[in-house]
């Protein structure tokens, strides 16, 4: 895919992994719509990006807001080529102690949000002829961890969603890749028992997305597992 002039939506694009991906896309000459729930954070991110960027406040669990996000991006840029489902929520604690509300919110953001965004973007990605969906999953989508049942369950579900979406995308020219990093140096992992220098950098994930977009039309990488180097 020739990236210059292409258009992407990046959910959770105001910070962390999403912001790094938006940076990489802008550097490649793409137009980018970044979304999140904090408009002021999005506006600061847009100023930092210095490119063809629009910040859009959106709760990805809300069907109407997601539809408005996609329509705004298409109206602003004229088309849509890439969707990055990066918005994520984590809740940690043993199952016996985990509040139902926290469990539900994690599933809503990580699974329902990806579904709503993909469904709204799909007709536009189909029209693009070379559409691409990135689902930012996790090592927790491949392995379960004690104290992280809500998060691991949501990321396992996202992996199943990615596989189904990939099959549906083949006849219409849409590629789907799930990115499964371990610990990434972001605010979400600030309290993790892993030193920052041992974590994956957000720009490594961004570079991976750009690389995958640049593959030939016949090449699709279903999933990328990224682990930290052993210390």
Active site residues: 151
Strands (E), 58-103: 82-85
CA torsion sign for 216, 83, 43, 205 is negative
Cα–Cα distance list, 57 to 70, 179, 185 (Å): 12, 24, 24
Report the C-alpha gap between 58 and 98 in whole angstroms: 27
Strand order in the sheet with 82-85: 53-57, 31-36, 7-11, 82-85, 132-136, 175-181, 223-226
What's CA 13's distance to the chain center, in Å?
A: 8
């Amino acid at each position: 895919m020739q990236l210059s002039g292409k258009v992407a939506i990046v959910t959770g694009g105001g910070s962390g992994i999403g912001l790094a991906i938006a940076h990489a896309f802008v550097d490649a000459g793409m137009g980018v719509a970044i979304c999140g729930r904090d408009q002021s954070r999005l506006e600061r991110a847009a100023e930092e990006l210095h490119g063809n960027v629009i910040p859009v406040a959106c709760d990805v669990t809300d069907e109407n807001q997601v539809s408005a996000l996609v329509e705004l991006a298409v109206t602003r840029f004229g088309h849509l080529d890439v969707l990055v489902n990066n918005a994520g929520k984590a809740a940690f604690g043993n199952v016996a102690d985990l509040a139902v509300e926290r469990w539900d919110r994690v599933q809503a953001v990580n699974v329902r949000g990806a579904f709503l965004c993909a469904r709204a973007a799909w007709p536009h990605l189909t029209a693009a002829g070379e559409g691409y969906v990135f689902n930012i999953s996790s090592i927790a989508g491949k392995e379960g961890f004690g104290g992280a049942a809500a998060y691991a369950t949501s990321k396992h579900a996202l992996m199943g969603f990615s596989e189904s979406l990939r099959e549906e995308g083949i006849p219409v020219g849409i590629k789907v890749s799930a990115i499964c990093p371990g610990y990434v140096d972001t605010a979400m992992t600030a309290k993790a028992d892993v030193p920052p220098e041992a974590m994956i950098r957000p720009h490594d994930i961004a570079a991976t997305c750009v690389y995958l977009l640049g593959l030939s039309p016949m090449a699709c990488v279903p999933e990328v597992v990224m682990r930290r180097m052993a210390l």
